[in-house]
Chains A and B, each alone.
Chain A
Amino acid sequence: MASQQLTRGEIEPLLDVWLETEFTFHAAGPVARALSKLEREEQDFVLDWIKRIATTHITLAFHFAKRAPDLLRRLDPRAIEAWAVQLCDTYDRAGMYAALAVAEQVDGYARTGQTHTEGALYDDIAGVLGNFVRGLSGRKLKVEQGDSVYTDSEKIVLPAITSLLASRDDNFKLAKARVALLWAQTRFGTLRVDIAAACAGYPHPDRALRQFNALETVRLTACIGRELPGLHREILRLMGILGDALPEGWQPLADRLNLADAQVEDSLSLLDTAYHLPDFQTWCHQGEMRPDAVANARAARLEKEKARFRIKLAELLEEHTSGEAPKKPASAEKPDIEVTPRDENGALEVEITLDGAPLAPPEDVKQLLTSIYLDFGEIPPEYLSPAGEGEYDPKLVFDQPEDPDSVWHGTYHEKGAELFPEWDHGRQHYRKNWCVMREKTVAPVHDSFYRDTLDKYAGVVKHLRRKFEALRDENRLDKRQTQGDEIDLDALIEALADAKDGREMSDRLFVRLHRAERNIAVAFLVDMSGSTKGWINEAEREALILLCEALELLGDRYAIYGFSGTTRKRCELFRIKTFDEGYGDEVKARISGIRPQEYTRMGFALRHMTKLLNQVEAKTRVLVTLSDGRPDDYFDVYRGEYGVEDTRMALLEAARTGIHPFCVTLDRDARDYLPHMYGAARYIILDDVRQLPVKVTDIYRRITT
């Protein structure tokens, strides 16, 4: 039997605590009354989320609580959950004002007044639709989450929830139709014209833009009808359900726009007529038009692509003529390059000919050409002169890795950084793009540290070598096998002699080549937080030297990284040795150069290493962390339970991808939290720092055999 409904009297004290009404003066009474009318299950659901959101911000939780009872009648719980997460994410990203705007938006979620809708959630559909749109011809568009439905000609933006229709399946179909229509805007020329200028001449440019959008929606829907007939049928069906139709007086315009040769120019010339027609009720699959976003993206793209294409063209030409001798002087004759785009039947192909002979452009050049064609409807002639030497600075044209330190000079930016999520224990959900991570290289210190360490541990090293050499596997011929590539003649002669003798003949007559494949990749993650200063830092460095010596013997692929950070905006991962690097003087100097930095924020580092490890091809992947204590960060919630839970989650994620995490810790005081934090990982606590160098190699030997 379901447990009893909570009464208002039971709910209100809970809200008083979570919303701290004594100080915030949020009126918990009416909320509690509304909640008391819900089923117990619904009450639990809403109360749980109020509590979770309150850990992020109390005002947000209050706004959620106010709207939740009404929403429950219209949306399914999954969609409400997605909305709650979006509230928190928006708050994380853009602050309270933006988050409250999201809270308002919810009123438009179910347009048809259906009693109950099952929304399609962005997170569920983005993967499929992203691949869907990349499969269509034209520029490779990205799908991103945002506050509305529009495109800037490079990305397509969808909201967190699509829920105009009743069933989840139909809502997915609707999102797909929206994506297709926005794709069509890029593909069939809508964004090629200066939309803002076209609308500027009217008394109400906003209205002109809406009518233009309507004209293009009609034209592009017809384009989709020719290009993707199956999808077109779906669109018509959805429009039928929602009652979308042409308003009065629009039919003649639509007749013109439905023709196969209708272009964006036709919509422009019809705009005048349309401006004086009644308002167009937006069709369900229609998005917004944002001319400013399009103009910004286009402005950033044009020059860059022109330069890129001309440089590529020069490369292509050089490749093509390099075999010919004698070389003509560059100025004597201009090469005759022709580029013909063919845009027929929905297939878009661009051909390049050089002096009449076709060239096969590589994939990146093809994509550049496609993108240029979509911007102009042709390849402008000035694009066809190859770039002269030094005409462009390739540094400016091609994306460069950002200097990780430059970010702290001048205004703060997140260019060149990688963003990682973090697990928020209170919210029971990830904070998206929360940690701003940059990779840096440890400044090498060329001193005698390496030699000193080897001298200090001479005995240990000798011992280690012996132990590790025993583990080494080599190619060898296995004799006397039942199956194999070759006959083992010794065994055969023996067997024949046995047979003549009347004894039983062995069937082990073959030799087989045994190929050694240890195939282990291991990443070491070293704590470089300030607390390691002194003994611990030295022990860590010594341990790394001994480890490298041992690993070189085994031939395992390994990488070493250090981590440290101050707040989520400055998470730093220090490269000491990458998987591809050899163990040379530079790496030794970097190990010697490891210095304690700031705080211990571990989640991002574990997530990044998980990613790196998964890129390495190996049968077994091991992630070993060396740290001196519990996670901690400067003036941040990371201290305490939050950090422990995030680290635990990051280790779980690693284990889920098939990595074997192993933690070595020096924290002697707080054994209580360790079993919980290292839940997914095996771990060992070292009591004495001085044991570290010797123990670590031994541990490694044990976990990989």
Chain B
Amino acid sequence: MNARTLDPAHHLIKQEPYYEPVGDEIQLFEAAYRQQIPVLLKGPTGCGKTRFMEHMAWRLKRPLITVSCHDDLTASDLVGRYLVKGGETVWVDGPLTRAVRCGGICYLDEIVEARKDTMVVIHPLADDRRTLPMEKLGQLVEAPPEFCLAISYNPGYQSVLKDLKQSTRQRFVALEFDYPAAELERRIVVSESGVDAGMAEKLVKFAQMTRNLKGSGLEEGASTRLLVHAGKLISSGVDPVVACRSAVAQAVTDDADMLAAIRELSSSLF
């Protein structure tokens, strides 16, 4: 078996990624894209931000370069760095530079996780200059009109240390995402996992229960993604209570009391 290796800068998504629009986010994104305004996606984890980006990349027929930010992500991880090769140094572009050069969509996922100095690098790209200064090369890369910058963050974490600076956030058009309404979420679960409508409805109701617990012991309720996981397990024959425990409860918390409470909720429901 061989895994395919893809070059993200030249890979286009061929098949339409499944996405159910919640509001007018598709039109908004397209308008922003045409006007060359960068986009900020806000919303809790697993509500479809990344899927939305894939869908938009497919729609706009641009390569999508995703960078998952972490707290050791430095500016050179994004822009590029010198590597040593056979006694010489060679310059290697980072993902952001590659996206700019090929006119793709660069999606920085969970941007607040990155180090503070990293965020400043994207500033000149995110306003009307649309340039990427590469200090180490002494160059300035101008972004073509097709290039688009999108970032995402989850305002739910509410940590002072992990907030987006005003100077960063005020450069973006913001799209707010939330868990889809019950009816829509049910459709998504049916289409993604293959369970029947009745089971999907119960799963959605179960998700609602865990979301009610947000703030009283749970950091975040079950996301649509987790429901899809649970649905997939159920449609391959796993008992619903077991599926909810392993795909949902264990994923949202480690607290034994909370796990027991969620187990009681799911066993009451199914």
The number of inter-chain residue pairs (CB within 8 angstroms) is 76
Q: Are A492 and B262 in contact (CB under 8 A)?
A: no
- A252 in the interface (beta carbon within 8 A): no
8 tightest CB-CB pairs across the interface, nearest first? A131-B261, A231-B268, A135-B209, A228-B268, A127-B257, A128-B260, A132-B264, A135-B265
With A and B bound together, what is the CA distance between A347 and B216 in angstroms?
A: 20
- A196 in the interface (beta carbon within 8 A): no
- A 224-245 binary contact with B (CB < 8 Å = 1; else 0): 0000111100100000000000
Q: How far is the CB of B227 from chain A (nearest CB, A)?
A: 15
CB-defined contacts of A214 to chain B, threshold 8 Å: none
- In the complex, chain B residues 118-176 whose Cβ is within 8 Å of any chain A Cβ: none
- B36 in the interface (beta carbon within 8 A): no
CB-defined contacts of B212 to chain A, threshold 8 Å: 134-137, 140
Q: Are B261 and A128 in contact (CB under 8 A)?
A: yes
Q: How far is the CB of A93 from chain B (nearest CB, A)?
A: 25
Q: Are A128 and B84 in contact (CB under 8 A)?
A: no
CB-defined contacts of B258 to chain A, threshold 8 Å: 131
CB-defined contacts of B84 to chain A, threshold 8 Å: 487, 492, 509
CB-defined contacts of A685 to chain B, threshold 8 Å: none
- B184 in the interface (beta carbon within 8 A): no
Q: How far is the CB of B66 from chain A (nearest CB, A)?
A: 22
9 contacts between A and B (CB under 8 A): A132-B264, A134-B212, A134-B213, A135-B265, A136-B265, A140-B216, A228-B268, A345-B205, A492-B84
Q: Are B268 and A131 in contact (CB under 8 A)?
A: no
- In the complex, chain A residues 123-160 whose Cβ is within 8 Å of any chain B Cβ: 127-132, 134-137, 140
CB-defined contacts of A496 to chain B, threshold 8 Å: 87
CB-defined contacts of B210 to chain A, threshold 8 Å: 135
Binds A, one of B4-12, B74-82, B94-102, B189-197: B74-82
Q: How far is the CB of A295 from chain B (nearest CB, A)?
A: 27
Q: Knowing A132-B261, A499-B87 are in contact, say whether A347-B208 is a contact too (CB < 8 A).
A: yes
Give the residue name and chain of the A residue nearest to B218 (CB). Answer: A131
Q: Knowing A131-B261, A132-B264 are in contact, say whether A487-B82 is a contact too (CB < 8 A).
A: yes
Please give the number of chain A residues whose Cβ is less than 8 angstroms from any Cβ of chain B in the complex: 29
Q: Give chain B's interface residues, CB within 8 Å of chain A.
A: 74, 76, 81-82, 84, 87, 89, 182, 201, 205, 208-210, 212-213, 216-217, 241, 257-258, 260-262, 264-270
Q: Are B269 and A347 in contact (CB under 8 A)?
A: no
Q: Knowing A135-B210, A509-B84 are in contact, say whether A230-B268 is a contact too (CB < 8 A).
A: yes
Q: Are A230 and B87 in contact (CB under 8 A)?
A: no
Q: Give chain A's interface residues, CB within 8 Å of chain B.
A: 127-132, 134-137, 140, 176, 180, 228-231, 234, 345-347, 349, 485-487, 492, 496, 499, 509
Q: Are B89 and A487 in contact (CB under 8 A)?
A: yes
Q: Are B267 and A230 in contact (CB under 8 A)?
A: yes
Q: Knowing A347-B205, A499-B87 are in contact, say whether A485-B74 is a contact too (CB < 8 A).
A: yes
Q: How far is the CB of A481 from chain B (nearest CB, A)?
A: 14
Known: A130-B261, A230-B269, A485-B76. 6 other contacts (CB 8 A): A129-B261, A132-B265, A176-B268, A228-B268, A229-B269, A485-B81
**One of A127, A131, A137 near B208 (C-beta < 8 A):** A137
Q: Are B257 and A131 in contact (CB under 8 A)?
A: yes
With A and B bound together, what is the CA distance between A345 and B76 in angstroms?
A: 53
Q: How far is the CB of A133 from chain B (nearest CB, A)?
A: 9
B217, B258, B266, B268, most chain A CB atoms within 10 A: B268
With A and B bound together, what is the CA distance between A127 and B260 in angstroms?
A: 9
A129, A131, A137, A229, most chain B CB atoms within 10 A: A131
Give the residue name and chain of the A residue nearest to B87 (CB). Answer: A496
Q: Are A345 and B201 in contact (CB under 8 A)?
A: yes
Give the residue name and chain of the A residue nearest to B210 (CB). Answer: A135
B74, B82, B84, B261, most chain A CB atoms within 10 A: B261
